[in-house]
A and B are shown apart, each in its own frame.
Chain A
Amino acid sequence: MDLVVNGDRHTLEMDPRTTLLDALREHLGLTGAKKGCDHGQCGACTVLLEGRRVNSCLILAVTLDGASVTTVEGLAHPVQEKFLEHDGFQCGYCTPGQICSSVGMLDEALSDDDPPELSDAEIRERMSGNLCRCGAYPNIVRAIREVAAR
Chain B
Amino acid sequence: MTATSERAVGQPLRRIEGPDKVTGAARYAAEYQVGDDLAYGWVAQSPVAGGTLTGVTVDPLVEADDVLAVLWHGNAPRLAEGDDPELAVLQSDRISYRGQALALVVARTLEAARAAAASLQLSIDPSPADTVLSFARDDLYTPEKVNPDFPSETSTGDVSAAFDAAPVRVDVTYSTPALHNSPMEPHATTALWEGDELVLYDSNQHPPGVAATLATLFELPPERVHVITEHVGGGFGSKGTARPNAVLAAMAARVTGRPVRLALPRQALFSMVGHRTPTIQQLRLGATPDGKLTAIDHLAVAHTSRLFEFAEQTAVTTRHLYEAPAVRTGHRLARLDMPTPRWMRAPGEAPGMVGLECAMDELAIALSLDPIELRVRNASSSLLTDCLRHGADRFGWHDRDPRPRQRRDGDWWIGTGVASATYPAMVQPSTARARRLSTGDYEVSIAAADLGTGARTVLTQIAADALDVPHDRVRVRIGDSTLPFASVAGGSSGTASWGWAVTGACRALRDSGGSDEATFDSSDLVEQLNQEGKHAYGAHFAEVRVDAVTGEVRVTRLYGLYAAGRILNPRTARSQFIGGMTMGMGMALHEEGVLDPNVGTWVNHDLAEYHVPTHADIESITAEWLDDAGEGQNPMGSKGIGEIGIVGSPAAIVNAVWHATGVRVRDLPVRLDKLLPHL
Residues of A within 8 A of B (CB): 15, 17-18, 22, 25-26, 29-39, 41-42, 44, 71-73, 75, 80, 83-85, 87, 89-96, 99, 123-125, 127-128, 130-141
Q: Are B615 and A35 closer than 8 Å at their CB atoms?
A: no
A96 to B19, CA, bound (A): 11
Contacts of A95 in B (CB 8 A): 21-22
Q: Are B579 and A22 closer than 8 Å at their CB atoms?
A: no
Q: Are B579 and A36 closer than 8 Å at their CB atoms?
A: no
Pick the contact of B233: A92, A130, A137 (CB < 8 A). Answer: A92
Pick the contact of B578: A33, A123, A138 (CB < 8 A). Answer: A138
Q: Are B579 and A84 closer than 8 Å at their CB atoms?
A: no
Given contacts A26-B110, A37-B606, A135-B581, contact A93 B615 (CB under 8 A): no
Contacts of A124 in B (CB 8 A): 615-616, 618
Q: Are B184 and A34 closer than 8 Å at their CB atoms?
A: yes
Contacts of B15 in A (CB 8 A): 84, 87
Pick the contact of A137: B33, B183, B185, B613 (CB < 8 A). Answer: B613
A107 to B594, CA, bound (A): 39
Given contacts A36-B184, A136-B579, contact A91 B232 (CB under 8 A): yes
Given contacts A26-B110, A30-B24, A84-B18, contact A91 B451 (CB under 8 A): yes
Given contacts A31-B24, A132-B184, contact A92 B452 (CB under 8 A): yes
Q: Are B607 and A71 closer than 8 Å at their CB atoms?
A: no
Q: Are A133 and B575 closer than 8 Å at their CB atoms?
A: no
Q: In chain B, residues 14-30, which have Cβ atoms closer than 8 Å to a Cβ of chain A?
A: 14-15, 17-28, 30
Pick the contact of A91: B185, B266, B606 (CB < 8 A). Answer: B185
Contacts of B620 in A (CB 8 A): 138
Q: Are A134 and B14 closer than 8 Å at their CB atoms?
A: no
CB distance from B30 to the nearest CB of A (A): 8
Residue B389 lies at the interface, judged by CB distance under 8 Å to chain A:
no
Contacts of A87 in B (CB 8 A): 14-15, 571-572, 574-575
The interface centre, meaning the residue of A36, A44, A94, A99 with most chain B CB atoms within 10 A of its CB, is: A36
Residue on A nearest B108 in the bound complex, by CB: A15
Contacts of B18 in A (CB 8 A): 83-84, 89
A130 to B612, CA, bound (A): 11
Residue B597 lies at the interface, judged by CB distance under 8 Å to chain A:
no
A41 to B612, CA, bound (A): 11
Q: Are A80 and B22 closer than 8 Å at their CB atoms?
A: yes
Residue B599 lies at the interface, judged by CB distance under 8 Å to chain A:
no
A32 to B28, CA, bound (A): 10
A102 to B20, CA, bound (A): 18
The interface centre, meaning the residue of A34, A37, A133 with most chain B CB atoms within 10 A of its CB, is: A133
Contacts of B574 in A (CB 8 A): 87
Residue on B nearest A33 in the bound complex, by CB: B24
Number of A-B residue pairs at CB separation under 8 A: 175
A29 to B33, CA, bound (A): 7
Q: Are A35 and B613 closer than 8 Å at their CB atoms?
A: no
Given contacts A92-B452, A137-B615, contact A42 B184 (CB under 8 A): yes
Pick the contact of A131: B22, B236, B263, B612 (CB < 8 A). Answer: B612
CB distance from B41 to the nearest CB of A (A): 14
A150 to B175, CA, bound (A): 48
Q: Are A41 and B606 closer than 8 Å at their CB atoms?
A: yes
Residue B621 lies at the interface, judged by CB distance under 8 Å to chain A:
yes
Main SS at interface, chain B: loop
> Assuming A15-B112, A93-B233, A128-B615, what are 17 further A-B pairs, CB within 8 angstroms?
A26-B110, A36-B186, A39-B607, A83-B22, A84-B19, A91-B232, A93-B452, A128-B614, A133-B182, A134-B234, A135-B578, A135-B579, A135-B580, A135-B582, A139-B575, A141-B615, A141-B618
Contacts of B615 in A (CB 8 A): 123-125, 127-128, 130, 132, 137, 140-141
Given contacts A18-B111, A84-B15, contact A89 B452 (CB under 8 A): yes
A77 to B146, CA, bound (A): 50
A130 to B613, CA, bound (A): 11
A34 to B24, CA, bound (A): 9
A124 to B27, CA, bound (A): 28
Residue B576 lies at the interface, judged by CB distance under 8 Å to chain A:
yes
Q: Are A99 and B579 closer than 8 Å at their CB atoms?
A: no
Q: Are B266 and A38 closer than 8 Å at their CB atoms?
A: yes
Question: What per-residue 1/0 map shows which CB atoms of B81-115 lie under 8 Å from chain A?
Answer: 00000000000000000000000000001111001
Q: Are A31 and B27 closer than 8 Å at their CB atoms?
A: yes
Contacts of A80 in B (CB 8 A): 22-23
Residue B265 lies at the interface, judged by CB distance under 8 Å to chain A:
yes
Residue B177 lies at the interface, judged by CB distance under 8 Å to chain A:
no
A39 to B606, CA, bound (A): 9
A29 to B667, CA, bound (A): 47
Residue B644 lies at the interface, judged by CB distance under 8 Å to chain A:
no
A135 to B560, CA, bound (A): 15
Contacts of B265 in A (CB 8 A): 38
Given contacts A72-B23, A91-B184, A92-B17, contact A133 B236 (CB under 8 A): yes
CB distance from B303 to the nearest CB of A (A): 24
Given contacts A91-B233, A133-B184, contact A42 B607 (CB under 8 A): yes
CB distance from A101 to the nearest CB of B (A): 10
Residue on B nearest A125 in the bound complex, by CB: B616
Residue on A nearest B453 in the bound complex, by CB: A90
Given contacts A87-B575, A90-B452, A136-B575, contact A34 B233 (CB under 8 A): yes
Contacts of A140 in B (CB 8 A): 615
Contacts of A141 in B (CB 8 A): 615, 618
A54 to B17, CA, bound (A): 26
Contacts of B581 in A (CB 8 A): 135
Residue B583 lies at the interface, judged by CB distance under 8 Å to chain A:
yes
Given contacts A37-B607, A72-B23, A137-B615, contact A94 B184 (CB under 8 A): yes
Q: Are A85 and B14 closer than 8 Å at their CB atoms?
A: yes
Q: Are B23 and A41 closer than 8 Å at their CB atoms?
A: no
Residue on A nearest B581 in the bound complex, by CB: A135
Q: Are A131 and B607 closer than 8 Å at their CB atoms?
A: yes
Given contacts A37-B266, A84-B14, A135-B580, contact A99 B22 (CB under 8 A): yes
Residue on B nearest A126 in the bound complex, by CB: B615
CB distance from A83 to the nearest CB of B (A): 5
Contacts of A90 in B (CB 8 A): 234, 451-454, 572, 575-576, 579
Query: Can you name 21 A-B pairs with beta carbons within 8 Å?
Result: A18-B111, A33-B24, A35-B30, A36-B185, A41-B606, A72-B22, A83-B22, A84-B19, A87-B574, A90-B234, A90-B576, A91-B183, A91-B185, A125-B615, A128-B616, A130-B615, A134-B184, A134-B579, A135-B575, A136-B578, A137-B618
Contacts of A25 in B (CB 8 A): 31
Contacts of A89 in B (CB 8 A): 18, 21-22, 452
A93 to B184, CA, bound (A): 6
A54 to B567, CA, bound (A): 39
Q: In chain B, residues 335-377, which have Cβ atoms closer than 8 Å to a Cβ of chain A?
A: none
Q: Are A17 and B607 closer than 8 Å at their CB atoms?
A: no
Q: Are B110 and A93 closer than 8 Å at their CB atoms?
A: no
Q: Are B266 and A36 closer than 8 Å at their CB atoms?
A: yes
Contacts of A99 in B (CB 8 A): 22
Residue B258 lies at the interface, judged by CB distance under 8 Å to chain A:
no
Contacts of A26 in B (CB 8 A): 110
Residue B608 lies at the interface, judged by CB distance under 8 Å to chain A:
yes
A1 to B648, CA, bound (A): 54
